[in-house]
Amino acid sequence: MTGLVSRLGAAVAVIGIGLSLSACGYNTIPTLEEQAKARWADVENQYQRRADLIPNLVETVKGYAAQEKNVLTAVVEARAKATQVKVDVSQLSDPDKIKAFQDAQNQLTGALGRLLAVSENYPDLKSNANFLALQSQLEGTENRIAVARRDYIEAVRAYNTALRTFPTVLWAKFFFTGNKPMAEFTATEGSEKPPQVKF
């Protein structure tokens, strides 16, 4: 009988410890870390989607604007560089890695902007159904990238906050000592200035 009581008491103690651990935030840090990693995967997925659209866009433009070789080459080179810069989830706490990724993507964004601006000089290209479809897909992808980046930034903010606020800071100091704050995207240089519109 006493063996049964002691086993029952041990079971109650284990259940009590489990409930108290779950209620006090022990799982918060790993949960938020996994959410931020998942959001990073979304960011990479959307940038990859954009990179996959670019060869078709370049080929379409090349058919109409072969003389714009410098612009086409810049887009191809920027795409190659952007797809080479990878950030593994284990590197999300390294701001330099995130900045290198962001810089490569910003260069590609700039090259694409120049390519689309050049297309304005070619009325036949602008009316081409394939070009219009690719342009529309590219615009949609840019919107998806913005949403994925926003979601990642929010997930990182929640994770970084948990590492510094009570009571999860206690878990971070004693049990999750290897967890470092994750790096966020930063605003693109010059984005604080509105674009100039000339007519």
pLDDT in tens, 132-190: 999 999 999 999 999 999 999 999 999 999 999 988 888 888 899 999 999 988 766 65
- Between CA 129 and CA 167 the distance in angstroms is 57
SS3 label, residue 198: coil
- Between CA 8 and CA 15 the distance in angstroms is 11
> Is there a contact between 65 and 119 (Cβ–Cβ < 8 Å)?
yes
- Between CA 162 and CA 173 the distance in angstroms is 11
Is the pLDDT at 193 greater than 60? The verdict is no
Q: Which CATH number does the domain housing residue 59 bear?
A: 1.20.1440.20
> Is there a contact between 43 and 101 (Cβ–Cβ < 8 Å)?
no
Question: Residue 176: which of 44, 36, 37, 25 has the closest Cα?
Answer: 25
Q: State the total domains in the chain.
A: 1
Average model confidence (pLDDT) for the chain?
86
> Is there a contact between 98 and 184 (Cβ–Cβ < 8 Å)?
yes
* Helix pair angle (129-164, 95-119), 10° resolution: 160
Contacts of 13 (CB under 8 A, 6+ apart): none
Asked whether residue 149 is domain-assigned, the answer is yes
Asked whether residue 183 is domain-assigned, the answer is no
Question: Containing domain of residue 95, as a range?
Answer: 27-174
Tens digit of each residue's pLDDT (9 = 90 or more) over 51-80: 999 999 999 988 888 788 899 999 999 999
Burial letters for 99-116: b for 16+ Cβ neighbours within 10 Å, e otherwise? eebbebbebbeebbebbb
Is the pLDDT at 26 greater than 80? The verdict is yes
- Out of 102-106, 115-119, 175-179, 185-189, which region has the weakest mean confidence (pLDDT)? 185-189
Asked whether residue 199 is domain-assigned, the answer is no
- Note the pTM of the prediction, 2 decimals: 0.79
Report the pLDDT value the prediction gives residue 82, as an integer from 0 to 100: 95
Asked whether residue 130 is domain-assigned, the answer is yes
Question: Residue 80: which of 51, 112, 116, 40 has the closest Cα?
Answer: 51
- Between CA 153 and CA 186 the distance in angstroms is 10
Cis amide prior to 181 (ω within 30 degrees): no
> Is there a contact between 77 and 107 (Cβ–Cβ < 8 Å)?
no
Is the pLDDT at 198 greater than 50? The verdict is no
Report the pLDDT value the prediction gives residue 83, as an integer from 0 to 100: 95
